[in-house]
Amino acid sequence: MNLFRRHPLALVLLALVVVSAVDPLPALVDAATGAPPADADLSRPLGYVVAAPFSDVLDALTFLSLDRARALLAVWAVALAAWGALRPAPPRRRAARALLGPVALLALGGAAATLPRSVPRLVTSDSALTVIDYHAHTSASHDGRRGWTALDLARWHAAQGFEASYVTEHNVLFDQRGQQPIPLLPGVEWSVAGQHIVALADTLPVDRGRFGRDTRSLLGLFGELHRHGALSIASLPEYWRAHWDDLDEFVAAGLDGLEIVNCAPKALGFPAARRGQVLALAAARDLLVVGASDNHGWGKVTCVWNLAVSGVRGYRSNQVVARPLALAQGEWLPWTAAYTQPWLMFRGLSWSERCSWITWILVVLIYRAVPRRAGDAAGLGILARSLEVFKLRWPRKPAPPGP
């Protein structure tokens, strides 16, 4: 009981790591069926597992939809500031503690977006499948991260198990041919009439003025792309937000496929019920369904991979495999993010990650729990204690005899 009163945070974390194992989430799911994929698994490198508390928190921050990211940051910033301000201490120290929490939270957000780190990788047991990304950007896109080159993008993909990726800049044709470390394939993302259409193939420029006036003119783009030898994919979140009622018309006009998962924060909130409707339409009309990292140079992990089957077209030609934490974004209301995101993160831990979490918690707990003598610096108790053992003790001079 005394231990709990002194170290509530460590013990709550320990309980969460253990209790969440009762109802675990799989590492990966097929976005169409919700079941773990038969031919693919997530491989977590040693560095990722050793640093699991850090790796998992940064992944969980990366896989937030925009609304949930705002809610989580607001609630945690206020809670951490209040916790710092209310703990007994002199006023200046309270103010510093109140600032520390929100600043640390922002630093974690920055680390999720930019800090180089060890990342999990998709591995597949079926050599007939190609692990591919259909939608990604470099700094050639107006909203791409500055300095984010095609080579950076290829390395980002290769580290996560991708064997190829299309590069689909906003309204700019991709003309760089690299094969290292993975082949980058030419594509483009056309913005027309509030919709983004990803065109796959070494395509030609199109007259956006002609196809971008309204939904009716947009329908002509699908035929134009076919004449250029390109496949057309409707991108998320635009068709969900702006053209949900036009999908049948898109398909009738020649649309070849739809994204059902897109890792951009604006698209991650796509609800499972809508995904189900899109899958039913795609299955009935034999359309391609794909997942998109939509990488712009920010964030170190993808939420989705594609397993492409060579020699097959349409619905059966591609399997979309996603991280369950990312798919859950559409299922939970934004204001619940402050507690649902950590809970889903804990449920998604592998056994090796749970062991890593428990080890870190125990190390910190032991370090802080060893009693200190008055005058020892806070937190250095255990070090001071162990150094004491080796300290040579000189016999003290006898006190001068009293009168």
Nearer to Zn ion, 56 or 294 (CB): 294
Encoding tokens for residue 247? 């999908």
Concatenating the DSSP letter of every residue in 188-245 gives EEEEETTEEEEEESS-----HHHHSSSHHHHHHHHHHHHHTT-EEEEPTTHHHHH-GG
Contact (Cβ atoms closer than 8 angstroms) between residue 203 and residue 225: yes
Instruction: State phi, psi for 249 to the nearest 5 degrees.
Output: -65, -40
Compute and round to an integer the Cα radius of gyration of the chain.
26
Nearer to Zn ion, 148 or 357 (CB): 148
Contact (Cβ atoms closer than 8 angstroms) between residue 160 and residue 179: no
Encoding tokens for residue 270? 């796509």
Nearer to Zn ion, 163 or 259 (CB): 259
Concatenating the DSSP letter of every residue in 240-298 gives HHH-GGGHHHHHHTT--EEEEEE-STTTTT--HHHHHHHHHHHHHHT-EEEEE--B-S-
**CA of 116: how far to CAs of 111, 155, 163, 182, in Å?**
8, 12, 21, 19
What's the closest the beta carbon of residue 11 comes to Zn ion, in angstroms? 44
272 CB-near residues (< 8 Å, 6+ apart): 327, 330, 331
What's the closest the beta carbon of residue 235 comes to Zn ion, in angstroms? 6
Nearer to Zn ion, 322 or 345 (CB): 322
Sign of CA dihedral 18, 19, 22, 28: negative
What's the closest the beta carbon of residue 289 comes to Zn ion, in angstroms? 17
What's the closest the beta carbon of residue 174 comes to Zn ion, in angstroms? 12
Nearer to Zn ion, 189 or 353 (CB): 189
Q: Is 259 in the site for Zn ion (CB under 5 A)?
A: no
Site for Zn ion in 182-201 (CB under 5 A): 189
What's the closest the beta carbon of residue 294 comes to Zn ion, in angstroms? 5
Nearer to Zn ion, 141 or 160 (CB): 141
What's the closest the beta carbon of residue 250 comes to Zn ion, in angstroms? 18
Beta-bridged to residue 42, according to DSSP, are: 122
Contact (Cβ atoms closer than 8 angstroms) between residue 381 and residue 370: yes
- Taking CB under 5 A as the rule, which mask of x and - marks residues 277-296 in contact with Zn ion? -----------------x--
What's the closest the beta carbon of residue 137 comes to Zn ion, in angstroms? 6
Contact (Cβ atoms closer than 8 angstroms) between residue 317 and residue 56: no
Size of the site for Zn ion (CB under 5 A): 2
Nearer to Zn ion, 76 or 156 (CB): 156
Nearer to Zn ion, 134 or 346 (CB): 134
What's the closest the beta carbon of residue 234 comes to Zn ion, in angstroms? 12
Helix-then-strand count for the chain, H and E:
16, 12
CB neighbourhood size of 220 (10 A): 15
Per the listing, tokens 């983004």 go with 196
Site for Zn ion in 71-130 (CB under 5 A): none
Site for Zn ion in 290-329 (CB under 5 A): 294
What's the closest the beta carbon of residue 312 comes to Zn ion, in angstroms? 25
What's the closest the beta carbon of residue 189 comes to Zn ion, in angstroms? 5
Nearer to Zn ion, 189 or 256 (CB): 189
Sign of CA dihedral 202, 310, 156, 104: positive
Nearer to Zn ion, 30 or 294 (CB): 294
Find the residue with minimal CB distance to Zn ion. Answer: 294
By the criterion CB under 5 A, which residues form the site for Zn ion? 189, 294
